[in-house]
Structure 1
Amino acid sequence: MFFRFPRSALILATAGFVLTACNASDSEPTQHQLLPPQLAEKHAHWGHYGGDEGGARFVSHTQITPANVDALEPAWTYHTGDLAPESFPDPFNSPALQTTPILARDTLYLCSPRNRVIALDPLTGEERWHHDADPALTGLYSVTCRGVAFHDSGDAGTSGACAARILAGTLDGRLLALDADNGKPCEDFGDSGEIDLIADLGDVRPAEYALTSAPTIVGDRVVVGAHVADLRRGGVPSGVIRAFDVRTGEQVWDWEALPPEQRVAGSYTPGTPNAWAPFSADSARGLVFIPTGNPAGDYYGGERNGRDTFGSSVVALDALTGERRWSYQTVHRDIWDYDVPSQPLLFDYPGPDGPVPALVQATKMGFLFVLNRETGEPLLPIEERPAPGGGPAPEALSPTQPWPVLPEPLHPTELTEDDMFGFLWFDRQACIKQFRSLNYDGLFTPISTQPTLVYPGFMGGSNWGSVSWDPVRKLLLANTSRIPAVIELIPRAVVEAPGFSEPVELQLDTPYAVKRRPMLSPLGAPCNRPPWGVLTAIDMTTGKKAWEVPLGSTRDLAPFPLWLNLGVPNSGGSMVTASGLTFIAAATDSYLRAFATETGEELWKARLPAGGHATPMSYTGKDGAQYVVIAAGGNRMLGSTMGDAIVAFRLR
């Protein structure tokens, strides 16, 4: 969930207010030894949404280095043709180009916000084919598609087609299989190339069930979850996870986030936690890892009747059977919209006795949970700390919440009066007055009928861009936002009374509607002091921050000369190269940046035609050149410039 960041707020920023990087060294980044052959091969091909199936977002290509990155220039640009602003008058129904392409069979495959699946020449950006899924869009909160998946079975179907296929989801709840060579539907898959995922979910209303993340391939299984609409009603569709045979489309298993004794054979339970973020897979161990959301009821925890059991968790499922191997809950009885928003990262944890197969889950709270991916046991210490009680359903709250001791949090864990900010003195005083008036008792303050301060707010902390991992330097890279929110429960009787006209989200089937907003000053700035967005490196050998720098400037939000590197709200992710570079856009300004992975020093940036709210990817083409590719589509709710471009860079 995002909000529109006001341009007017930053026009009033004082030109003398400048933030510097924390703990960033002035030394030049050093070159590391070549990767071991097995690791180099694993990360040579960007064949999955997150680079590899474990979401490392790391490439072994080393042609672009800290020494020559300033010679990068645009190689080609492709326009999806999907913008059409006149088709999206409501900012809550706006296109968001957030796709990360994958490379297979010497072709780039991607999707546009309105589910055009596209194949491009990786050297020129020339379109080879596209398939328009033409989804129904009415009532959608956001129109986006973040990626597609590729499967090569090695054998063609009865028509001689679809030996290799692209799997893609749609915004109206379908799963497609397309011939990777020409984009035509694979007739042997489901019903003439598609599966209706809504058909057996019961009462599904328009815009309640949409696939925004790339499907996950594990062997011959394609595994999918879905975005289920928040804050509408308790009877929204089940968040069931399902696996299908990648050739025939036959369903082979399902898993619903309920205790086994509450499962009802042959049907699905409305309102169970969904999983809208990308999944990760460990093919060697036959596991798929699911980041789950919270159950329906959202900001009200009463009457959930066990649907919290696997909410806001990371869950390991057997890829062949769907059996739950283990699960770890990152928030107990979540009433803060702290659903797990990002792809779990699979990596080898550098333990004292050698590498350990591990998983790290980034959350909206800014916590990193580091777990053994075979057992789910913590590899770094996590404490159960007391949590405040209260609110309209205190009996439904957990008395404790999990709190990682290490790694260090990516986001501040509290907000104080001293943290209040304003562009001018009266602006700050208004924020202080607002802070004093709010219900606030730390990170897990129960949502109340009194305006309640929630920090991090509903956009995080971390969000769907996830984190990236440098296996050479043992550094984890994470971008986060720092925007507080104010949330209030409005009794149903008040909402239904004659004359009530405040904008609320209805949250039907509970006693309360919900009113939400970012905590802003009278001049429109976030009430907490900058940075409002940062890029952080965590040294995973110690769990400590190696460095942290503000991410993004006020350019494109304020006029010259008020272009300040304050760090701004961001949406998207990073990509790391073996040569020691971290590429990221994500911020509200229209830049793609390269940082020195070891130090956090900004080494290069290039203007994009729109906000780059996506994750970059990289590959080496048949011409021998290394390319860096990113989608630049903007985000209306963050206030960044809109567009429909896929942009590739290479050394001149």
Structure 2
Amino acid sequence: MIVLLLIFALLGLALLAGGLWLAALGGSVYYAIAGAALLAVAMLLRSRRTAAQLIYALLLASTAVWALWESGYDWWPLATRLGVLLLLAIPLLWPARQASRAPALVLFGVWAVTGLVLLGSLFNDAHRIEGELTTDSVVTDPELGLAANQNDWPSYGRSNYGQRYSPLEQITPDNVAELELAWEYQTGDLKGPEDVTETTYQATPLKIGNSLFLCTPHNWLVALDADSGEELWVYDAKVPAESQRQHQTCRGVSYLAPAAERTSTTASVPASEPAQDLAAIRCDAQLYMPTSDARLIAVDPQTGARCSNFADNGVLDLMHNMPHTQDGFYYSTSPPVVAAGLIVVAGAVNDNYDINAPSGVIRAYDARTGELRWNWDSANPEDTAPIAEGDTYATSSPNSWAVASADEELGLIYFPMGNRTPDQLGMYRTPEEEKYASSVVALSLETGQAQWVQQFVHHDLWDMDTPAQPSLVDIQTEQGLQPGLVVPTKQGDVYVLNRETGEPLLPISEVPAPQGAIEGDWTAPTQPVSALSFAPEPLRSADMWGATLVDQMICRIQFESLHYEGRYTPPSEQGTLVYPGNFGVFNWGSIAVDPERQVMFGMPLYLAFTSKLVAKEEGKDLEGATNSGEQGLNENAGAEYAVELSPFLSPLGIPCQQPPWGYVAGADLRTGETHWKHKNGTVQDMTPLPLKIKMGVPGIGGPIITRGGVAFLAASVDNYFRAYRLTDGEQLWEQRIPAGGQATPMTYLNSQGEQMVVLVAGGHGSVGTTIGDYVLAYKLGSEE
């Protein structure tokens, strides 16, 4: 009895104190009332048990009504509001000795009805959208951007069109459940003690001839036999550790076909022969790997030897002509684009470390020699002639860190653009930088001149870089088949544009945006919205969540303490809630599009972040640790404000907003209609108890689609690789994997004519998934 009294008293005190604080901030008064009721129960329990039972029955009944009113008939919000109270009611269900049984019966009735109501909500998926995408081909023989072997995967998004679509159809919804592990390879490259937090394995292999080529986080380039996974050679770029990098990753490599297209461009060499020790040779075909110490390395696909004909014995220093050259501030995490005889390279610039950072310039080099052909710097967009020796590019200009796409027939290359650092301070930007930031820009492959630009955030103060490779897909419209470009954004809008002109194929509207930037800055009066959008509804205090009433209440206190007026609430010294957060609704994993059915498959996710501007004394740096990654306190050296960024989490380290946090979804690219949307992923690897509860969890990575009607995706924070039916999103297959699958898979035919599906599983340092070094290949099981 004493223990029970203490539980009621402590819970009551916590709710009463926190509830009064919350009410003072303008939030719900429920918690204060509930706290007072629990304290009353604690005081009455020993001497007047019947009164305690009646008060508790009233508290439980009113809590159930309040919970349903706030959150609807939705299991997770109801469970966290009612679960603890239902458990605490159990010791009170027995009547007091020599007293009326009526109060106990009343409490039992309320408890039973509330429990049944809660249990019933388990079977109601309040967030599910049911429907089907078309099964018919809208466009026959669509353009896939790939003239070479259709059985291969020779570019990051399979082709420079970035569709992540394969015409292979051996694997279908009817047989995908028969997929089995065919082979497994471990690279040996693991996160070390000196690595930055965001050391991640995000690579998508290329398949050319009968070889696979992939890079590792520390920039090893690995060649494998596509049939067996046998190691052919490894080239180690010998990248030194650097604490000032925000990322230690490599998403992929790029390939230049030989002058005369051969049937196979690769050959086995002994695995014991270290590729980096081979003398540089003159290459015909070439592989390119960007490194995290800002080099671009060209190697021979047959041997892994560096290419003597490219730059300086196969090594191009990307820091040339940079205005600032701080170690770790500039590097390429995404593979460059090979098109029209050029290798076109962009790069990532550290966010919020220093206002004087390297340029975000985009440069095109001769693919065979490494000679600079043109450079486009968004701060100086008209001057694209190769920069003169001794000159420098613009300081901190907007960069493009995600993968680009290209249409050689139109002579255009498409770059998703980021922002000028600092992300949350707009007073340092020029009109030219404003024009091209947080957009997609089409550049001429011949000259580098900008042909059109479509901006997705005006005067971006939220780190809403355009994060994903545009997908090029011809769209059937009322005016006929038009060359389309589809690009998802962090804020949840998916834009469908004419890739020749930049004009919208699905409507774009401008809506009013919150105002109130800090002194010296400004906010755009309106922001664009696409007709195809996965943007969430604005958060409410009622949307706050926690495992118990207490941490849910703390999340509400945090919510009411932050500045928040919906999407695009400007940064503040008070602290601003950013939702969707800069992790994105979509990120670098992009979407996959089916050019025949004219549909998309994506993984929208919903996580709020917070940003807080920290004023600095003039001329003084902040004391204590800064610049530890994209999250945490970043210095913004030279600026008046530092910025502190973090996910919006409860004291238990789980998101403050109620689930689901992650979905899979399918939409029609012609109409903008979302036909289905389902929760994706379980909490099996998020909690100490390995419970496989499908909650809809966050993730980062990308999907692929096959002509067989199957979509493949790992990405979520549980260690599973999954397959889905494209038409309705139903999960058809899953495989437990040994590490986090935060990479985009790929598929190809091996030399035996078998369709293989390959995923790199190595985890993500910031997301916290299991670290590993695995390359996993699956194929249909042999018939007995």
CA distance in 1 between partners of 2:625 and 2:429 (Å)? 29
| Residue identity opposite 2:471 in structure 1 | L
Q: Write the mapping of 1:398-417 to structure 2, written as runs, cut at 5 A.
A: 398-404=524-530, 406-407=531-532, 409-417=533-541
1:109 to 194, 210, 213: 213
**2:453 aligns with one of 302, 319, 327:** 327
Preserved CA contact (<8 Å) 1:32 1:579: no
Give the whole-Å Cα distance in 2 for the aligned partners of 1:593 and 1:448: 41
2:583 aligns with 459
Partner of 1:192: 313
What corresponds to 2:17 in structure 1?
A: none
Query: Is this contact kept in 2: 1:66–1:580, CA < 8 A?
Result: yes
Select the residue among 130, 133, 146 that pairs with 2:237. 133
Aligned to 2:744: 615
Change (3 A) 1:597 1:85: same
The offset of 1:161, in angstroms, is: 4.0
Q: What is the alpha-carbon distance in structure 2 between the residues aligned to residue 344 and residue 495 of structure 1?
A: 42
| Aligned equivalent of 1:119 | 223
Matched ranges for 1:214-363 at <5 A:
214-258=335-379, 260=381, 266-306=391-431, 307-363=433-489
Checking the alignment, whether the CA contact within 8 Å between 2:204 and 2:746 is kept in structure 1 is yes
Distance 1:497 1:176 in 2: 37
CA–CA distance in 2 between the matches of 1:381 and 1:205? 43
The more displaced of 560-569 and 503-512 is 560-569
Moved more, 449-458 or 431-440: 431-440
Q: What displacement does 1:491 show?
A: 0.2
Q: Secondary structure at the match of 2:766?
A: helix
8 Å contact kept, 2:621–2:637: no
Answer yes or no: is 1:649 the counterpart of 2:778.
Answer: yes
Larger radius of gyration: 2
Shift of 1:207: 0.5
Give 1:505 shift: 0.6
1:182 and 2:286 matched: no
> Which residue identity does 1:56 align to in structure 2?
Q
Once the two structures are superposed, the pairs formed by residues 573-652 of structure 1 within 5 Å of their partners are: 573-652=702-781
Q: Which residue is 2:25 aligned to?
A: none
The equivalent of 2:184 in structure 1 is 77
State whether residues 24 and 601 of structure 1, in contact with CA within 8 Å, keep that contact through their aligned partners in structure 2: no
TM-score normalised per structure 1 = 0.92
Ranges of 4+ aligned residues in structure 1 off by more than 6 Å: 12-17, 261-265, 497-502
Amino acid of the residue matched to residue 365 of structure 2? F
Superposed CA deviations along residues 594-625 of structure 1, whole A, max 9, x for unmatched, are: 01100111110001110100001000111111
Change (3 A) 1:34 1:331: closer
Q: Are the counterparts in 2 of residues 495 and 513 from structure 1 also a CA contact under 8 Å?
A: no
Equivalent residue for 2:595, pick from 471, 495, 499: 471
Q: How many Å separate the matches in 1 of 2:171 and 2:136?
A: 14
Query: How far apart are the structure 2 equivalents of 1:216 and 1:499?
Result: 42
Q: Which has the higher contact order (CA 8 A, sep 6+)?
A: 1
Measured against aligned partners, the alpha-carbon deviations of 1:517-563 in whole angstroms (never above 9, x if no partner) come to 11112222211111111111111232111111112110112245632
Alpha-carbon distance in structure 2 between the residues aligned to 1:160 and 1:509: 46
Q: Who is 1:545 aligned against? A: 674
Query: 1:297 Cα shift?
Result: 2.0
Q: CA deviation at 1:38?
A: 5.9
Q: What CA RMSD, in Å, does the superposition of the two structures yield over aligned residues?
A: 2.6
Counterpart residue identity of residue 64, structure 1: I
Which structure 1 segments of 5+ residues have no match? 1-8
Q: Equivalents in 2 of 1:211, 1:234: separation in Å?
A: 19
TM-score relative to the length of structure 2: 0.77
Structure 2: unaligned runs, 5 residues or longer: 1-75, 84-117, 262-279, 627-631
Shift in alpha-carbon separation, 1:198–1:500, aligned structure 2, 3 A? closer
- Select the residue among 304, 324, 337 that pairs with 1:203: 324
Q: Secondary structure at the match of 1:637?
A: coil
Q: Which residue matches 1:529?
A: 658
Equivalences for 1:552-567 in 2 at 5 Å?
Answer: 552-560=681-689, 562-567=691-696
Asked if structure 1 preserves the Cα contact closer than 8 Å seen for 2:471 and 2:487, the reply is: yes
Of 137, 148, 154, the match for 2:259: 154
Distance 2:557 2:477 in 1: 48
Maintained 8 Å contact 2:139/2:597 = no
Deviation at 1:262, TM superposition (A): 9.0
Q: Which residue of 1 aligns with 2:98?
A: none
Shift of 1:397: 2.3
Amino acid at match of 1:425: L
Q: Is the 1:137–1:171 Cα contact (8 Å) retained in structure 2?
A: no
Deviation of 1:202 after TM superposition, in Å, equals 3.0
Aligned to 1:51: 158
- Per mean C-alpha deviation after superposition, the further-off stretch among 319-328 and 487-496 is 487-496
SS at 1:573 equivalent: coil
Q: Corresponding residue for 1:366?
A: 492
* Contact 2:323–2:357, Cα closer than 8 Å, also in 1: no
Q: Residue 239 of structure 1: SS of its match in structure 2?
A: coil
Deviation at 1:171, TM superposition (A): 0.5
SS in 1 for 2:221: strand
Tell me, in whole angstroms, the C-alpha distance in 2 between the residues paired with 1:395 and 1:171: 33
Q: Tell me: CA distance 1:486–1:328, structure 2 relative to 1, closer, same or farther (3 Å).
A: same
Change (3 A) 1:501 1:272: closer
Q: 1:430 aligns with which of 539, 549, 554?
A: 554
Quote the residue 1:493 is aligned against.
617
Q: Cα gap change, 1:274/1:34 in structure 2, threshold over 3 Å: closer, same or farther?
A: closer
Match of 1:431, SS? helix
- Judged with a 3 Å threshold, the aligned counterparts in structure 2 of structure 1 residues 541 and 499 are, in CA distance, closer, same or farther, namely closer
Deviating more after overlay: 60-69 vs 635-644: 635-644
Going from structure 1 to structure 2, the CA distance change for 1:624 and 1:261 (only over 3 Å counts) comes to closer
CA distance in 2: counterparts of 1:480 and 1:63, whole angstroms: 28
What CA distance in whole angstroms lies between the structure 2 residues aligned with 1:570 and 1:532?
9
Equivalent residue number for residue 6 of structure 1: none
Question: Taking structure 1 as reference, are residues 67 and 513 closer, same or farther at Cα in structure 2, changes over 3 Å only?
Answer: same
Counterpart in 2 of 1:173?
Answer: 294
Report SS of the residue matched to 1:143. coil
Aligned to 1:436, what secondary structure does the other structure show? helix
Q: Write the letter of the residue equivalent to 2:312.
A: D
Q: Find the aligned partners of 2:621 and 2:374 in 1 and give their Cα distance.
A: 46
SS in structure 2 at match of 1:308? helix
**Match of 1:536, as an amino acid?**
A
Give the aligned residue type for 2:163.
A
Q: CA deviation at 1:426?
A: 2.0
Greater helix proportion: 2
What do residues 174-208 of structure 1 show as CA deviations (whole Å, max 9, x unaligned)?
Answer: 11111111110110110111110102213211100
* Per-residue deviation, 1:255: 0.1
Match of 1:99 in 2: 203
CA contact (8 A) 1:410 1:536 kept: no
Counterpart Cα distance in 2 of 1:206 and 1:499: 22
Deviations 1:254-293 (A, max 9, x none): 0001254799974211110011000001111111001111
Report the CA distance between 1:23 and its aligned residue: 2.4
**1: CA distance, partners of 2:236 / 2:297:** 11
Would you say the 8 A contact 1:554–1:568 is kept in 2?
yes
How far apart are 1:494 and its partner, in Å? 9.4
For the pair 1:517 / 2:646, whether they are aligned, the reply is: yes
Query: SS of 1:275's equivalent?
Result: coil
Matches of 2:511 and 2:648, distance apart in 1 = 27
How far does residue 32 in structure 1 lie from its aligned partner after superposition? 5.6
* Structure-2 separation of matches of 1:59 and 1:429: 48
